[in-house]
Amino acid sequence: MSTQLEHDYIGLTEGPSMEKSCDKISSSVSSNLSSEDENTSSLNFKETELRLGLPGCGESPENNNSGSGSGSGSGSGAGISLFGKDLQKKHSGYSASSKNLKRGFSDAISSSSSSGRWIFSASDDATDEADFGNASARCNKEVAMVPLPHSEKPPQVAAINDHATAPAANFCCRAQVVGWPPIRSFRKNTMAYNVAKMNNEGEVGCLYVKVSMDGAPYLRKVDLKTYTNYIQLSSALEKMFSCFTIGQCGCGAVPGEEGLSESAFRDLVHGSEYVLTYEDKDGDWMLMGDVPWEMFTESCKKLRIMKGSEAIGLAPRAMEKCRSQN
Amino acid sequence: MPRLAYSFPEEVLEHVFSFIECDKDRGSISLVCKSWYEIEAWCRRRVFVGNCYAVSPATVVKRFPKVRSVAIKGKPHFADFNLVPEGWGAYVFPWIKAMAAAYPWLQEIRLKRMVITDECLELIAKSFKNFSVLVLTSCEGFTTDGLAAITANCRNLRELELRESEVEDICGHWLSHFPDSYTSLVSLNISCLGNEVNLSALERLVSRCTNLQTLRLNRAVPLEKLANLLRGAPQLVELGTGTYSTEMRPEVFANLAEAFSGCKQLKSLSGFWDVLPSYLPALYPVCSSLTSLNLSYATIQSSDLIKLVSQCESLQRLWVLDYIEDAGLEVIAASCKDLRELRVFPSDPFGLEPNVALTEQGLVSVSEGCTKLQSVLYFCRQMSNAALDTIARNRPNMTRFRLCIIEPRAPDYLTREPLDAGFGAIVEHCKDLRRLSLSGLLSDRVFEYIGTYGKKLEMLSVAFAGDTDLGLHHVLSGCDNLRKLEIRDCPFGDKALLANAAKLETMRSLWMSSCLVSYGACKLLGLKLPRLNVEVIDERGPPDSRPDSSPVEKLYIYRTVSGPRLDMPGYVWRMEDDSALRVS
C-alpha cells in the first residue's frame, strides 16, 4: 500500500541542478562515451530496452554460467508478465501498465532535491535508455577484450563476464567460485572440505591411493573421493580383493556413520584375518577407522590390507598419534 | 536566558556523561556545545573505530585523551571469503604506537580483521601497565612468541581471546609464561591454535585462577584431559572442548560425566572437534541450563544431535552443521522455545548433490516454533518464495537474516521463479531487520522491495543478483540507515553509483567486486568526493593502462576524515580528489 511516487530524474538536461564544474567533468567523460555511442548505435534497440523483468537484455547473457545452471535466468518472457501481475497486485502505486515496466533508468530514479547537487552522470545524453544499454554492453565488450588474470587461485568466475572462462557444463562438479559459498577460511580448513579442483581434462579432484594386500601379486588403486565413509571404502576393498579372500569385512556398523563404531571396529580386527591400515602424511602406518573420514582422506597416502597377525600392537600407537595430531 | 551548560560544574557533567555508554549518544552529547564537546571528550573511556582507515590514530588520541578501551576493525567483511588479496592493509601497528604514547592506562584492545605482529604484541605488553583485555577476532600476522610477551608481562591480564585468528604456532610454552603468582584470568580462548599448548601449565593455570569463567580449548587438547580441567574450574560459565573423541573407555566416560555435573554454572558449550557420539551423554547433566551451544564443527548425525539438543530447553543460541536435518530442526522448534539465534552451516558445501536431508522446511519449522528467533544464518540447497513468506510472517521480530543457497542464482525450486517475492516478504514484515544477506535467483525487483521496506537495514550482502543499475539504485536511495553494503558478481555499473554518490558519505563502506563499475566512474567519484577514499583493487595492473570504460575488478569505497591511507599495496589505487591534484 505504499505508493512509489514517480519522480523525474534530476534531469541531466536541466542545468541549474548541476554544478558547473561537474558538468565539465561529466561532459569530458561523456565525450569518451558518446564517441563510442556512435559505434554501437547499430545495436538492436530491443537489446538495449530496459525492463524490470528477468534478464533478456544484452548485458547479462551469462546468467546461466557457473557450473550446473539450474534453470537460472530462464523464461524471461514468462517472467515479465508474471512480474506485471505482481506489480499490479501488490503495489498500486507502482507502474502497473506495461508501458511503465519498460521505463528507463532515468524515469525511475527519484530526484530528491537534497541529493540533487551530488548527482553525477556518466553522460549528458537525454536518451538514457539507449545509453544505459550501450554502456553495459560496452562494458561487457571491454571485459571480453581484457584477458583474465592468470593467478594461482582458481579463476574468479564473474557472472557477468563475457569472457566465458567459466568451465564448460560437462564438469562433473561445481566449478569453484572464489569465496563462494561464503565460508570462513578457519571453518574451511577445520572441516577439511573436499574442495573440487579443476584440471584440464575436466576431472574433479580425485584422490587415488595405492592399495596393497599382503600376499596379493599386484596392487590396486582406489579413489578415496568416491566414498564418504569407512563402511563404503571397506566394502569396496572387499569386493576388489575378494579373489584373494579377505575374510569377513562386513561390519555391524550402520551405514552413514562418520567413523567405524566401536563394535564394528572390534569385529573387523578380531573377526577377520585381515586389517585395514594406511600410511599417513608423516609416513606412519595407522589403523583405519580412528579418525573422522575427512581427516583420514586428507592424510592418507597409501592403503595396506595387513594380515591380522602383523597388526597386533598397532592400535595403542595409533591412539597416541591421534592425540598429538591436530 | 540561563546558560544551562554553565550551571553545572564540569565534574557533575562528567558524572552524568559516565552513564552514557552508547557511542551514538556520546556523539550527540558532543554536539550540544563546545564545553560539552570538551567534557565529553575528556571523559570518554571507550572508543570504537569501525574502519581503521576512517580516522587516523593521531586524531583519535588527540580528541580523546583518556581512553581505556579501544575496539578497531580493519579489513572489509569479504576478506573472510578470500576476496581481499594478501597484504591489503589493516595494520594495527600505527594504532598501538600512538596509544602507547598517549594512553599509558589503556586496559582493553579488541581487534577484528586486522594484522597484528609480534612487535605489536610486545609493544602492548610493555606499554600498558594495567592491560587486561586482548581480543583478536579473525586477525593474523603474529606468532605464539608474541603471545608469550603478553602472558609474561601483563600482570593484570583478564581476558585473552584468539577467535578464528591465524597464529603461527612456534611453541606451546607461551602459556607457561604466566607467572605462578598470576591468578586474574577470567577468559581464555585458544580455540584457533593448531598445536598443543603445555597441558600441565594449562591445568595449573586453570585451577589457580578462581575467577575463570570462559575457557575455550583448541583441538589439540585431548578428551582425557578435559575432566581434570573442569574439576579445576567448576565455576566455568563458558567451555570450549578440545577434541571430543577418544577410544571409548567407561572410566573416561564416567570421569567426564562427573566433571560436567560439577559445573553448575555452565551456560555455553563449543568446540566438539571430532566427536565420538557415545561421549555425548556426558554432557546431559548440563544441557538443561545451556543457553549457547556451538556444534558447528561436530560431524555427527542427526539422531545424535537430536538426542543432545532436545534436552537443551533453555537454549538461546545454536550453531550446528546441516547434519541436524529438517527432522532435527523440527525437534528444536518443539524443545528450544527460548531460541534467539540459529546458524546452520554446510557439511559439504562443494558437493554437487545434497548429502543431508536439510531443506527450507527446517527453517520454516524453527520460525514457527521459536517465537523469539531473531537472528538466522542458514545454508541450504533449495528455497521457495512460499517458505520465505511463511518465515517472514512467522517472525516479524527478525533482526538478522542471512540465507545462503549454495548454488548461485538458484530459483524458487517449486515455481522456478526468482526469489524476489520471498525476500520481499522478509523485508516487508520484519520491520526491524538490520542485517540481510541475499542469495538465489534475484532480479532488480528484490532491490525495489529492499529499498521500499528496508528502512532499518544497516548491512546488506549481495551476490549474483540483480539485472541492471536500477537494483543498486533502489538500495542506495531507499535504505535510509544503510551503513555497509557489499556486492559481488552483480551487473551494477556506473549509473546508480554516480546518481547516489552522496549516499556513500553516509555509509561506513561499500564493496563491489566483479561488477560493472568503470574506472572512469571511480575516478569521478574520487575526484568529487574528497571525504571518501575510493580504492580500486586490480591485480591485472594499473587501471590507467586500460580504457576508462573498462570495469574495475574490485572497488572499496569508505568515508574517512583522514584522507588517503599511506600503506596501500601495489594492486590498490586510490582515486585522487581535487585537493591532491591542486597540490601536485
Chain B residues near residue A72 by CB distance under 8 angstroms: 408-411, 441
Q: Which residue of B has its CA nearest to A10?
A: B499
Q: Which residue of B has its CA nearest to A29?
A: B520
Alpha-carbon separation of residue B35 from B4, B29, B63, B66, B479 (angstroms): 11, 10, 13, 17, 35
Q: Does the pLDDT value for residue B512 go beyond 60?
A: yes
Chain B residues near residue A74 by CB distance under 8 angstroms: 411, 416
Binning pLDDT at 50, 70 and 90, where does residue A292 land?
A: confident
Q: Does the pLDDT value for residue B105 go beyond 50?
A: yes
User: Does the distance separating the beta carbons of A112 and B219 come in below 8 Å?
Assistant: no
User: Does the distance separating the beta carbons of A4 and B467 come in below 8 Å?
Assistant: no
Of A228, A274, A285, the residue nearest A250 (C-alpha): A274
Binning pLDDT at 50, 70 and 90, where does residue B581 land?
A: low
Quote the minimal CA–CA distance from A240 to chain B in Å: 26
What are A319's three cell numbers? 591412539
Judged by CB atoms within 8 Å, which residues 247-276 of A form the interface with B? Answer: 256-259, 262
Q: Does the pLDDT value for residue B2 go beyond 90?
A: no
Burial classification of residue A277, based on how many CB atoms lie within 10 Å of its CB (0-12 exposed, 13-18 middle, 19 or more buried): buried
Q: Give the model's pLDDT for residue A31.
A: 42
Mean pLDDT lowest among A262-271, B65-74, B501-510: A262-271
Chain B residues near residue A179 by CB distance under 8 angstroms: 78, 81-83, 488
User: Does the distance separating the beta carbons of A105 and B406 come in below 8 Å?
Assistant: no
Contacts of B101 (CB under 8 A, 6+ apart): B61
Burial classification of residue B517, based on how many CB atoms lie within 10 Å of its CB (0-12 exposed, 13-18 middle, 19 or more buried): buried
Q: What dihedral do alpha carbons B295, B301, B302, B304 form, nearest 10°? A: -80
Q: Does the pLDDT value for residue A103 go beyond 80?
A: no
Q: Give the model's pLDDT for residue B229.
A: 96
Of B462, B375, B388, B379, the residue nearest B423 (C-alpha): B388
Q: Give the model's pLDDT for residue B132.
A: 97
More confident residue, B126 or A32: B126
A150 at interface of B, judged by CB pairs closer than 8 A: no
Judged by CB atoms within 8 Å, which residues 67-86 of A form the interface with B? Answer: 67-75, 79, 82-83, 86
**DSSP letter string over A86-140?**
HHHHH-TTS--SHHHHT--HHHHS---GGGGGG---S---S-HHHHHHHHHHHHH
What are B229's three cell numbers? 580441567
User: Does the distance separating the beta carbons of A172 and B493 come in below 8 Å?
Assistant: no
User: Does the distance separating the beta carbons of B350 and A173 come in below 8 Å?
Assistant: yes
Judged by CB atoms within 8 Å, which residues 5-64 of B form the interface with A? Answer: none
Judged by CB atoms within 8 Å, which residues 229-288 of B form the interface with A? Answer: 243, 245-248, 273-274, 276, 278
Q: Give the model's pLDDT for residue A109.
A: 53
Give me the interface pTM, i.e. the ipTM: 0.91
Binning pLDDT at 50, 70 and 90, where does residue A299 land?
A: confident
| Residue that is written with C-alpha cell 566416560 in the block | B253
pLDDT per residue as tens digits for the range B136-169: 999 999 999 999 999 999 999 999 999 999 999 8
Binning pLDDT at 50, 70 and 90, where does residue A206 land?
A: low
Q: Work out the average pLDDT over B416-427.
A: 98
Binning pLDDT at 50, 70 and 90, where does residue B4 land?
A: low
Beta bridge partners of B69: B46, B108
pTM, two decimals, is 0.70
Q: Which residue of B has its CA nearest to A112?
A: B477
Q: What is the DSSP letter of A312?
A: T
The SS3 call for residue B129 is coil
B198 at interface of A, judged by CB pairs closer than 8 A: no
Q: Which residue of B has its CA nearest to A3?
A: B452
Of A237, A238, A268, the residue nearest A252 (C-alpha): A268
Quote the minimal CA–CA distance from A72 to chain B in Å: 6
Quote the minimal CA–CA distance from B195 to chain A in Å: 6
pLDDT per residue as tens digits for the range A10-30: 434 333 433 344 444 444 444
**Percent of residues in chain A assigned helix, strand, coil, to nearest 5:** 40, 10, 50
Q: Give the model's pLDDT for residue A114.
A: 38
Chain A residues near residue B546 by CB distance under 8 angstroms: 142, 146
Binning pLDDT at 50, 70 and 90, where does residue B81 land?
A: very high
Q: Give the model's pLDDT for residue A193.
A: 66
Compute the distance between CA of residue B533 and CA of residue A138 in angstroms, rounded to an integer: 27
More confident residue, A192 or A291: A291
Quote the minimal CA–CA distance from A66 to chain B in Å: 8
Pairing of strands B554-559, B509-513: antiparallel
Q: Give the model's pLDDT for residue B10.
A: 86
Judged by CB atoms within 8 Å, which residues 87-116 of B form the interface with A? Answer: none
Compute the distance between CA of residue B294 and CA of residue B546 in angstroms, rounded to an integer: 48
Amino acid found at B24? K
User: Does the distance separating the beta carbons of A119 and B501 come in below 8 Å?
Assistant: yes
Quote the minimal CA–CA distance from B441 to chain A in Å: 7
A72-81 burial, b at 16+ Cβ within 10 Å, e below that, comes to bbbebeebbe
User: Does the distance separating the beta carbons of B194 and A326 come in below 8 Å?
Assistant: yes
Percent of chain B with pLDDT over 70: 98
Q: Give the model's pLDDT for residue A243.
A: 65
User: Does the distance separating the beta carbons of A184 and B350 come in below 8 Å?
Assistant: no
A45 at interface of B, judged by CB pairs closer than 8 A: no
> Which among A73, A181, A326 has the least Cβ separation from residue B220?
A326
A176 at interface of B, judged by CB pairs closer than 8 A: yes
Q: Does the pLDDT value for residue B288 go beyond 80?
A: yes
Quote the minimal CA–CA distance from B399 to chain A in Å: 20
The CATH classification number of B1-44 equals: 1.20.1280.50
What rounded mean pLDDT belongs to chain A?
54
Q: Does the pLDDT value for residue B98 go beyond 50?
A: yes
> Which among B80, B245, B500 has the least Cβ separation from residue A184?
B80
Binning pLDDT at 50, 70 and 90, where does residue A291 land?
A: confident
What rounded mean pLDDT belongs to chain B?
95
Chain A residues near residue B540 by CB distance under 8 angstroms: 146, 149
A208 at interface of B, judged by CB pairs closer than 8 A: no
User: Does the distance separating the beta carbons of A68 and B407 come in below 8 Å?
Assistant: yes
Compute the distance between CA of residue B377 and CA of residue B369 in angstroms, rounded to an integer: 17
pLDDT per residue as tens digits for the range A154-189: 334 333 333 333 333 333 445 578 899 999 989 998
**Terminal Cα-to-Cα distance of chain A (whole angstroms):** 58
Q: Work out the average pLDDT over B29-54.
A: 95
More confident residue, A159 or B501: B501
Pairing of strands A208-213, A220-223: antiparallel
Amino acid found at A250? G
Quote the minimal CA–CA distance from A219 to chain B in Å: 29
Q: Give the model's pLDDT for residue A25.
A: 40
A180 at interface of B, judged by CB pairs closer than 8 A: yes
Q: Which residue of A has its CA nearest to B476?
A: A109
pLDDT per residue as tens digits for the range A117-164: 334 444 433 333 333 333 333 433 333 333 333 333 433 433 333 333
Asked if B161 and B187 touch (Cβ cutoff 8 Å), the reply is yes
B463 at interface of A, judged by CB pairs closer than 8 A: yes
Q: Other CB atoms closer than 10 Å to residue B343's CB: what's the count?
A: 17
pLDDT per residue as tens digits for the range B42-58: 999 999 999 999 999 99
Chain A residues near residue B469 by CB distance under 8 angstroms: 105, 132
Q: Does the pLDDT value for residue B489 go beyond 80?
A: yes
Q: Give the model's pLDDT for residue B466.
A: 97
Mean pLDDT lowest among A194-208, B270-284, B339-353: A194-208
> Which among A54, A109, A142 has the least Cβ separation from residue B551?
A142
A109 at interface of B, judged by CB pairs closer than 8 A: yes
